[in-house]
Every structure is written in structure tokens, then in C-alpha cells.
Amino acid sequence: MQLGTRWTSGDEPPAAVPAVLRPQIAAVDRAMPRDDLGQPRPRWTLTFLEGRPIAELDTGVIVEASASGDVVVRHDDEDEFG
């Protein structure tokens, strides 16, 4: 696994974030509830596994490109094989 970069949810993703992931990352950011208490927003982490980009939010939401090229949004507690 290759570590990419980190950025705060709601901010413009860095240039290193592949264009294929950007629409779903933006959709996840829009769907997040607003925090009126001023807590810090969660952060995204971009990594690459077997050459495929994976963006994971501190909350456990994952946006990744599958082997077939589809973009999948899931939560890290979901069983990938079941």
C-alpha cells in the first residue's frame, strides 16, 4: 500500500486525488451532517492498493475504484466477501 495524502472533509481534494473518485467524495461530503458545535471535520486519507485509489474518511466511509473501474462507496465495517 502506498500512502497518498490527507485533506479535510468539505475542502477541495488535492490534485493527487484521481478524478474518478472526486464525484463520490463530494457526494459523501455533502451528505455529512453539519456540526453546529464547532467540532473539527473528519479528514480523508488517500492511499493506493494494487494501483487502485482508495479514499477513506475518518468516520469509516470508503470511496474506492474497483478492479473493474467502478467507483464503490462503502463503510469499513462491511464484509467485502459476504
Q: Is the pLDDT of residue 4 over 80?
A: no
Classify the phi-psi angles of 60: left when phi > 0, otherwise alpha if psi is within -120 to 50, otherwise beta: left
Q: Is the pLDDT of residue 80 over 70?
A: no
- In terms of Cα–Cα distance, which of 40, 57, 14 is closest to 22? 14
Cα–Cα dist 1/81, whole Å:
20
Q: Is the pLDDT of residue 81 over 60?
A: no
Q: What is the pLDDT of residues 47-61, one digit of tens each?
A: 999 899 999 999 999
